[in-house]
Amino acid sequence: MNTNTTPATEAPPPPTLLLVDDEANILSSLRRLFRPAGYRVLTAESGDEALELLAAEPVDLILSDMRMPGMTGAELLAIACERWPDTVRILLTGYSDMSSTIDAINRGQIYRYVAKPWDDGDLKLLVRDALERMQLKRENERMTRTIAEQNEQLKGFNAELEARVAARTKELSEALAVADKAHRDLRQSYTTTVRVFCELVESRSPILKGHGRRVADLARNIARKLGVGDVEQQTLVLASMLHDMGKIGLPDEILSKPFSTLRGEERSAVMTHPARAETLLMGIPPLREAATIVRSHHEYFDGTGYPDGSTGLAIPRLARILAVADAFDSLQLGTMVGRTLSPKDALEFIVANRGKRFDPSVVDAFVSVGVLLKPERANTEQRLRPAMLKVGMVLARDLVHADGYLLLSKGFVVDDAIISQLLRLERTEGRAVIVSVA
């Protein structure tokens, strides 16, 4: 016996149709129409028989004749609406009295009505479209439940983060003499936490590794060129590192495809991620400004973006900057169009969309930053033990523990407290700690 076989993924069951008509020849005709399409077909010759079937097993769509002895199609669909609201309801009617049909639609919240005699092709297309809409609705409900579960998880993260911040604030208030130093260190603590969130998002796809950091660095350089202040620059960096946070709940197969190649329903799912990220981040007070920027980073200057269709200067300025930085890196990764672009081609794409996708002033600043023309700077990086560190040195690389978790992020400014903690770490673990500083 072969014990190495893996279970195959079960295909979803075919949709179930319930056809209701008191005329056997019509039921037979409908059955012949729909069975070749792969549907599971049930039939009933009266409203009472249809209700028995509905109570016995799940049905995705009811197609019922209007005029039947006893219970009419309108009465049947009204009851079905009340008891099984998720089942799609379609009415076949031969009545010339439109008011009766309209009343039936209102009472049963009927998806569509079809006049008899019907066109087979049109009826098959209508049923297919109705089932696709029902499936999309179910998927949206599933995604909503997933987001709710993630929000519950995020509450736990928030509680832990708030506890860490409270402890850190108390420690800084006792150790530091001036309030502005405490504020900088607190912001730095949040940056480290954001870095962890960023790596959580990027772990979903190998090609995304480092994407958030590259986007943040480029966005900050553009912001400086535009004269953006230091506080807003820090908000922009946080938003850049978290701009893909809303993709956590998306399936892996969607994340692996370029946006331009996605099918309609896949594209709709991806287009929810800026708003979902805002929802996730709004629960953390220090990240609320960044959350607003993240929501708008896929808005286009000409108003054709998402999720709100904002136009021009109505889009937050920092979001307009983030849009250019994100696009430049995404084009090179191949996650935006169907192929990877060189830096030169990515630059040309952004320039070609000046005033369309992107704010002209941001594009001009981006070009003037000279991302393609910067010469390599001499490597002044030093690798030092904690005893050799001095206050004010800046980390040139992330400091990662031997077990793989992040201790300090690139750009962290060394102070006495950090030096003491690193010395203590060396003593406790009995191994050398090497810190790369610029």
Domain check: are 427 and 342 in the same one?
no
Domain check: are 306 and 395 in the same one?
no
**Within a domain: 330:** yes
- For residue 178, what pLDDT is reported? 53
**Within a domain: 25:** yes
Residues spanned by the domain of 404: 382-437
- For residue 377, what pLDDT is reported? 47
- For residue 250, what pLDDT is reported? 80
Beta carbons of 42 and 60 less than 8 angstroms apart? no
Question: CATH number for the domain including 235?
Answer: 1.10.3210.10
- For residue 190, what pLDDT is reported? 61
- For residue 372, what pLDDT is reported? 57
Question: CATH number for the domain including 80?
Answer: 3.40.50.2300
Domain check: are 233 and 357 in the same one?
yes
- Output the average pLDDT for the chain: 83
Tokens of 314: 């109505």
- For residue 84, what pLDDT is reported? 92
Domain check: are 199 and 302 in the same one?
yes
- For residue 101, what pLDDT is reported? 67
Residue ranges in the chain whose pLDDT is less than 50: 1-3, 5-6, 373-378
Domain check: are 205 and 342 in the same one?
yes
- For residue 184, what pLDDT is reported? 57
- For residue 1, what pLDDT is reported? 47
pTM for this prediction? 0.47
Spatial CB neighbours of 320, under 8 Å, sequence gap ≥ 6: 301, 358, 359, 362
- For residue 10, what pLDDT is reported? 66
Domain check: are 257 and 120 in the same one?
no
The full DSSP string for 376-405 is PPP---EEE-GGG--TT-BBSS-EE-TTS-
Q: How far apart, in Å, are the Cα atoms of 433 and each of 196, 384, 386, 387, 389?
A: 21, 8, 7, 10, 11
